[in-house]
Amino acid sequence: MKDDLPKGFRAATVAAKFRNWNRDDLGLIFSDLPCVLAALFTRNIFCAAPVIVCKEILASGRTIRAVVANAGQANSCTGADGLKDCREIQEIAAKDLGVAPDEIALVSTGVIGARFDMAKWREALKKLSAGLGKQDAEGFTRSFMTTDAFPKFASRDIELSAGNVRLTVMAKGAGMICPDMATMLCVVLTDAAITREYWRKFFIKEVDASFNRVSVDGDTSTNDTILGLANGASGVELISDGDRELFRDELGQILKKVAYMLVQDGEGSSKVIHIDIEGAADEAAAKKAARAVAGSQLVKTAIYGGDANWGRIINAVGYSGVDVRPDEVGLYLCGIERFRDGVPVNDNMEAELAEKLKERDISVRIILGKGDGKYSMLSSDLGREYVTLNSDYRS
């Protein structure tokens, strides 16, 4: 039995063969105890059937017991029939696991518009729960990967004054990653005993500071879901302010770590661009500027090519809609100042800059000269491989 998950959680996966691949593509997380749920979803109006199901569970305020995750079929834009398919899956799994249907959350990813292949689902669900305890965090993560080059998961043990708890984050996401999530599925587990109020508060805040600050291609998908399950199996209660603060901080760190992996594995990308905006009028302005830079195709392609074309970064700030004065804006690329008081500086450092641009992590620091507003986010570069992957994803 593999047991790297937090206490009381077990995982299983099977090969449902939703697509023509040689791997497990259906996963299950089961908790021996009821879990307090926190969750965030895509803001896309066309949210997929599994997202609708999860939203209902979240709104009901109930505890949950399980998460079923699949790759290869998104069940998005499938209308009432798609929703019915989700209900049937919940029913089957509920009977098998001895819990209620609405104690089972669903997360799915794949091509939009295709119905679930229910024959495959029914067949695979028969075998799924038998494997519980045989998979670890990596195995479960692999079961809902699509174009990901590597599984994205992390685990950490936290020593609180009341005892030790574990946090595990398992995510997928390569293309279609952008602020407010995009085709990103993520399951966060902890055995800490935490009230729903604090769990949701910490969760929303830390997801906003991590997953909502990464951008690969700017497309927000119909299926994005991030679920947080806390089952209390450690017996360690988060009561003191110190323990709560420490736990929240560790949650933030591990989410940022996995969010970084998402950008690192952005489809066809080779670099992680760290965008830091400072000196904005307020955080909202800083965020606006950061998103414009993160989303610029010209910035992404220049950095992919190792081209120190900093003018494209300034250009993106200029059209971001943020109120700045050109002669008050400053720019550092890879730690080298290249723009100050409205004019280029350090033109003679181009060779040094070209060397630094060969590294994987690229720092873009922009000072707007307006106030104390700050915002940071991560973006990927844009390479030929992105186009190759996305021009024939379905075939």
Q: Cβ of residue 101: shortest distance to its own copies, in angstroms?
A: 23
Report how far Cα 320 is from the mean position of its chain's Cα atoms. 24
- Is 141 a residue of the active site? no
Q: Which residue number, 11 or 357, has a Cβ lying nearer to its own copies?
A: 357
Q: Which residue number, 211 or 310, has a Cβ lying nearer to its own copies?
A: 310
Q: Which residue number, 113 or 335, has a Cβ lying nearer to its own copies?
A: 113
Residues that bind its own copies (CB under 8 A): 42-47, 74, 76-81, 111-113, 175-176, 217-222, 295-298, 301-302, 304-307, 309-312, 314-319, 323-327, 329, 338-339, 341-344, 382-384, 386-388, 390-395
Q: Cβ of residue 4: shortest distance to its own copies, in angstroms?
A: 35
Which residue is listed with tokens 């799924």? 128
Helices 297-304 & 311-319 angle (0-180, nearest 10): 160
Give DSSP secondary structure letters for 47-108: --HHHHHHHHHHHHT--EEEEEEEES----S-HHHHHHHHHHHHHHHHHHHTS-GGGEEEEE
Q: Cβ of residue 20: shortest distance to its own copies, in angstroms?
A: 17
Read off the tokens for 16: 């449902």
Q: Which residue number, 323 or 361, has a Cβ lying nearer to its own copies?
A: 323
Q: Cβ of residue 212: shortest distance to its own copies, in angstroms?
A: 14
Which listed residue (42, 109, 141, 183) is catalytic? 183
Q: Cβ of residue 279: shortest distance to its own copies, in angstroms?
A: 15
Beta strand 330-333 with 336-340 is antiparallel
Q: Cβ of residue 42: shortest distance to its own copies, in angstroms?
A: 8
Q: Which residue number, 3 or 341, has a Cβ lying nearer to its own copies?
A: 341
Q: Cβ of residue 271: shortest distance to its own copies, in angstroms?
A: 11
- Amino acid at the residue 337: E
Q: Give how far Cα 295 sits from Cα of 4, 29, 167, 179, 316, Å.
A: 37, 35, 31, 10, 9
Q: Which residue number, 5 or 294, has a Cβ lying nearer to its own copies?
A: 294
User: How far is Cα 28 from Cα 96, in angstroms, rounded to an integer?
Assistant: 12
Q: Which residue number, 75 or 210, has a Cβ lying nearer to its own copies?
A: 75
User: How far is Cα 49 from Cα 223, in angstroms, rounded to an integer?
Assistant: 8
Q: Give how far Cα 50 sits from Cα of 18, 80, 90, 111, Å.
A: 16, 12, 10, 14
- Three-class SS of residue 14? strand
DSSP assigned state of 179 = T
Give DSSP secondary structure letters for 330-378: EEEETTEEEEETTEE--GGGHHHHHHHTTSSEEEEEEE-SSSSEEEEEE
Closest CA to 54 of 276, 252, 228: 228
Q: Give how far Cα 97 sits from Cα of 32, 84, 94, Å.
A: 10, 20, 5
Active site residues: 183
